[in-house]
Structure formats: structure tokens, C-alpha cells
Structure 1
Amino acid sequence: MAARKTAANRYYSGPPSDHFDGTLFFNPDGQPPGRFADLLKWQLNGKRSKWPATNPSPFPQAKPTAKIEGPALDVTMVGHSTLLIQTAGLNILTDPVWSLRASPLSFAGPKRINPPGIAFADLPPIDLVLVSHNHYDHLDLATLKRLKASHDPLVLAPLGNDAIIEAAVPGMRLSAHDWGDRVEVGNGVALHVEPVHHWSARGARDRRMALWAGFVIETPDGKLYFAGDTGFHDGINYRLMAEKHGGFRFAILPIGAYEPRWFMAPQHQNPREAVQGMTLCNAAFAAGCHWGTFQLTDEPIDEPARKLAEALDDQGVPREHFRALRPGEVWTVPEIGRG
């Protein structure tokens, strides 16, 4: 069932909390998104790097197996924040985007410069979809329509996002949750909806009307963490994850779309902060996402991967433990203690 709506918030209505003021969501002790004047200042700064029109991955499109049982864990990069997670007999997609553009428009907006790392027709049966928030590079309604028609997965999303999805994809199986919720999904697997430092909007008049979140996937053979999209926020949420969950076999952490720092730092962490986050949340292995597919910000296309390697060396983390994945790349993640 879609969330209740009011005139003040078209997506959600509920009691106030430590991150909802009764009308809009917010980051506790955090920073709101930049003002329109700041956006213009950034857009007119003339420092946007030139990305190539195309940047094919060195990996061919993957053809995943139908299902992986038991403790084995395969993670396949599709592109940007879209990854296929296969473990415990479940196939899980994060923030699925197969569209050409991350935009409300079919003819303008950020355009993908490499094809998806898995052709849509080659997807295994999808059981579960995790949607972290409603920005167009994470919530792609066209892709959700295709998934509904071909796979009919369960979609988990933070509060308010269900209203957006239900309006566009009638009949989609939806489960909307607040930070701190735990959801049993079968096969001994449960999902935790957790706080990240970000914001939401589909347009100019719905800022912060829907919640943003990360997810912890609790399996019989360890926990996995998908941070969605997040600013570092002094490491507060990473410390919370370690305190609550103890540690992780694997984490998916954003490493791109971070320049200029004066504008992006509250909402998008950089590679150095991502490595700090991996350490703070006690993740044994991590994959870098949110880079190399859609140009959203100023940094050069190859800088996130290069800066990630530098940060790993500086912080004493083996490079093979935190990889900046490219579309089509498949990582069979070791069990904890075997990597």
C-alpha cells in the first residue's frame, strides 16, 4: 500500500521523528542540500572535466548463473550504483538503472557512456530490488517497469518512495520502511534499512519529501552493506553500522560524484572518505560504485579509481580488498577469514 500523502508532502505523512519534522525528512545533526544559488555557482564555475562520449568497460557483458546457493557470494557491476548480488539462493539488484539517461527527459540529462554490465535479457530471476532514494540515477521507473513485467520482484525502499513507484508501476510489489526497520525476506535472509547522509528530489518542488537510506543484507554467512548514496558525515553512520551490526563481509560504497567539495561534500563522499568508511564499519571487502557511467560532477572520469588506490595505500588497506568495479566485472567475494 502506498504511503499516505498530504498537501504539504505528496509522498508521505506520518508522525515526527528524529529525521522527519512532520512534513520533510532531514539528516540529524547534518547538512541540508545546497541552495539554488549554490547550484548555479557550481554550474557556472567552468571546472567541469571533459568526459569521453563513450568509455567501454574492459570487461564483456556478464551472463550470470541463475542462482547461487549457500555461502558463495558473487557481485556483478552493471554500472553506476546498479549491482547484482547473488548469495543464499537470492538474486538482488541495487538501484537498478538500465535506461540511457539518468534524467526525467529522454533527450537531455546525464547519458551513460558504457552499456550495462549485464544485458537486461541476461538477468537471472530477480527476487529483490533495493532502491536507496529517488534521484534519477538511483530510481529509474522505466527499468522498474521492465523488472515488474519480466521478474515481478519485491522492491524495498525508504518511506515515500513507494508512492512514486506505485503511481508509475501499478501492481509492483512494494515494501516501504523507515530507518531502523528489519524485514524478513526468506532463505534465512533479512534486510535492515539504515541511515545515510543524503537528500531526495524528483523535481524542484518535492525536496526531502521521500526518505533516503542504505541497506544491510543479513545472511547466514555474514552481513552485506549497501550504503546507497551518502556523504561521509564525520563517519557517524559508519560507526553506527559497526556498533549495530558488528562488521561486514562485504560493502558497496560510493566513490564518485564528489567535486567540487564545497558543494558536494555533505552529500557525496570522496574515495578517501570511502576507505575511512570501510574501516569504520569494519568491512572485510568493499566495492566502489557511483562512478564511471554517468557524469554528474566535475572530477575526471578516471580520478575516483586512481584516488581510491592512493587512499588504500595511504591507509594501509590492501588494494584487492576494495575494488573500483567496472561494468561487467564479476567479483566472487571470499568468505571472511579466507581472503
Structure 2
Amino acid sequence: MTRRRLLALLGAAPLAAAGWFGWARGRNPYYDGPPSDHFDGLRFFHPEQPPDKSPIQAFRALRLAEKAPWPENWPSPFADRPPPEVTGPGLRVVSIGHATHLIQAAGLNILTDPVWSERCSPVSFAGPKRVCPPGVAFEDLPRIDVVLLSHNHYDHLDTATLARLVARDDPRIVTALGNDVIVRADAPRARVEAHDWGDRVELGHGVTASLVTACHWSARGVTDRRKALWTAFAIDAGEAGRVYFAGDTGFFSGAHFRKAAAEHGPFRLAILPIGAYEPRWFMKDQHLNPAEAVEAFRLLGAEHAIGCHWGVFRLTAEAIDAPAAELATALRARGVPPERFRALRPGEAWEA
């Protein structure tokens, strides 16, 4: 039985996301560089990162935990056809679904973690299937100048979508160390570049993106856990303001949010994950829950926030609408007006 078929039979993307057996010894197929304060010569790590969960713990959390029911279809009431570009002080962000957003500022069109595929999985016939179509049809996308890839989990790095973008627009693809190898395997013509935490990348039109620390991990299969780096991004779009895109992250002490605010703030907008957080004993090391997202919003000092990573792909145990409901509760508890932190549905836009 092939590795991909085994992944599919056992749950595909959730299995890959758990990184089962990913602590196996061996070479790093993605990155060969000197050790650093977050790379030990084989694997990447975050200083606050706890020991990896075991295969048994992963199985308990992802296959045996009691799960709230999800509908097979949960269409969004929104759909968007973005303008060709946004210039001047304008900033426009539309949720396409999960962690995929179109950020338009300073004449640039930037996509985060683009996924238009029906499943986030190494195979087309199994794994988490979207219950809501993308909020922007692929054909309605304006020219894409830049893609920002946070890490290599299948719900964030979709090589089929990237290949379509490369064929249509040939965008620059900016990602963290090691992920360039994964992209080129399926899109050999891709203009992909890999950077380390702390690097600042000029995107054009005076816009920059800095790679900033996140508390997460990576895996595409059963032997490559933490062999590619994961990252958040701090985007400086000049007069349009600064945007923080978290990708995926746990909270831990919150130091990475404080550091991002100190080094790259003030932020006009933070894009923060609010879903895929139950069961908490397992998911807290890798994903924010809504209350933690509100605290991250506070630590970042952002004017506004968008909640993402919910309501599209069934990855964990909570109900499909629980992230939005719990976000509303957390905002009330903190005395934050709900218009400052919105849980966008696909096709819903934030503009300023």
C-alpha cells in the first residue's frame, strides 16, 4: 500500500496535520542549512514548542474524539468579484475561505495560502472536503502579483491551485525555508523563494512582507514533520497600512504577538485563525481558540481583525459555527466592539 493511499484511508489531511510518524529519523528532503536558534540541522522548532504528541495521542484526538455534527453543505450568503486593484490609502481584504484571502493594497494583489481545490488532502478521493465554495471564483480573481505561503499543511499549501496561478499569472511566491521544494515539485516554473524568520522581502510598489515567528509545525507526509519552516507575515503596504497574517499558530505565552507588534506594528488589520481548536488538550499546541485570538488581537495592538480558518474544511471536533459564536462571546467579555473583529464568511470583504 502506498503512503498516499494509507494517508487517505486514515483521514488524509487530518493525519498529515497530526504529523503521524513524522519524528522518524532521516535526512531533510527540503532544506539543507546550518543549525540556528530554530533549526537543529534536521528539523525546525519554536523555542516554546512542547514535545511532539505521540501517534496514539494523535489518533485519540483526530479519530476517536467526540465530534459535533457538520452539514455536508454550508454555503456562504456572500460572493465577491474583486476590483482589478486598490490604490492610495485603500485596503481591501476578501475572505475566499479557510486561510485564503485576497489582500489588495498599493496596486498589488496578494493571495494568502490559496486553496481552490475541493479537498485539502494528498489525494483527490479522500480527506476533508469543503462544505462551502470559494468566496471568489478562480475565474473572477484579478491578476495575482504575490502569493504568501505560511506553511506546508494541505489546508494551506495546495499545489494544484498554485500550478493554476503560475500558469495564469506567474506570481511571485514567498514562503518559509523548505517549502519552495514542495511547490516546485508540482509547479516547476513557479517563481518561488524561501526565506527565514526575520527576513524582509520587497514585494514591489513599496510593499514589503516580513517573515515573523509562529508557534506551529509542518508536515506533508509520514516522515517529514518539522522539516520545512512555518511562518506568519507582517505586511507593510505604506499609506494603506500594515497587515499581520498569522497563518497557523498556537498562543503559548503570546510572546510572538508582542514581538510582531513591537517590530512591525502598528497594524491596521490582523488576520487571525479562530477555528480547528478542539479537543483542546491536543490542539492548543498548534491552533488558537477564539478567546486566544482575541488576546492575540490585543497583544498585536491591531485596529481591526478578521477571523479565519473556520467553516470550510472539517478538521477538528468543534461545531461548524462554534468559532464565530465563541468569538462573539470572547469579544463581549473583553469589551471589544464586534465590528473590530469580524469572523468573515467566504466572499465577505473587509474594506477601509
* Distance change (3 Å), C-alpha of 1:247 and 1:32: farther
**Equivalent residue letter for 1:200:** S
Give the whole-Å Cα distance in 2 for the aligned partners of 1:120 and 1:32.
40
Give the whole-Å Cα distance in 2 for the aligned partners of 1:313 and 1:97.
32
SS of the counterpart of 2:303?
Answer: strand
Determine the structure 1 residue equivalent to 2:275.
256
Write out the 4+ residue segments of structure 1 that deviate beyond 4 Å after TM superposition. none
Structure number with higher helix proportion: 2
Question: CA offset at residue 29 of structure 1?
Answer: 2.5
Determine the structure 2 residue equivalent to 1:31.
50
Give the root-mean-square deviation of aligned CA atoms.
Answer: 1.0
Determine the structure 2 residue equivalent to 1:18.
37
Give the whole-Å Cα distance in 1 for the aligned partners of 2:48 and 2:313.
30
Question: CA offset at residue 44 of structure 1?
Answer: 4.4
Gaps of 5+ in 2: 1-25
Query: How do 1:1-339 residues align onto structure 2 when only pairs under 5 Å count?
Result: 8-59=27-78, 61-221=79-239, 222-333=241-352
Preserved contact between residue 261 and residue 300 of structure 2 (Cα < 8 Å) = yes
SS of the counterpart of 1:38?
Answer: helix
Preserved contact between residue 33 and residue 266 of structure 1 (Cα < 8 Å) = no
Give the whole-Å Cα distance in 1 for the aligned partners of 2:123 and 2:53.
23
SS of the counterpart of 2:268?
Answer: strand
SS of the counterpart of 1:233?
Answer: coil
Question: CA offset at residue 269 of structure 1?
Answer: 0.7
Give the whole-Å Cα distance in 1 for the aligned partners of 2:335 and 2:71.
33
Preserved contact between residue 312 and residue 319 of structure 1 (Cα < 8 Å) = yes
Determine the structure 2 residue equivalent to 1:336.
none
Preserved contact between residue 65 and residue 279 of structure 2 (Cα < 8 Å) = no
Gaps of 5+ in 1: 1-6, 334-339
Aligned residues between the structures: 326
SS of the counterpart of 1:283?
Answer: coil
Question: CA offset at residue 219 of structure 1?
Answer: 1.5
1:273-294 deviations in Å (ceiling 9; x for gaps): 0000000011100000000000
Determine the structure 2 residue equivalent to 1:3.
none
Give the whole-Å Cα distance in 1 for the aligned partners of 2:350 and 2:27.
45
Question: CA offset at residue 33 of structure 1?
Answer: 3.8
**Equivalent residue letter for 2:28:** N
**Equivalent residue letter for 1:99:** S
Give the TM-score, by structure 1 length.
0.95
Question: CA offset at residue 243 of structure 1?
Answer: 1.5
Question: CA offset at residue 32 of structure 1?
Answer: 4.2
Give the whole-Å Cα distance in 2 for the aligned partners of 1:228 and 1:42.
22
SS of the counterpart of 2:59?
Answer: helix
Give the whole-Å Cα distance in 1 for the aligned partners of 2:309 and 2:62.
20
**Equivalent residue letter for 1:13:** D
SS of the counterpart of 1:272?
Answer: helix
Give the TM-score, by structure 2 length.
0.91
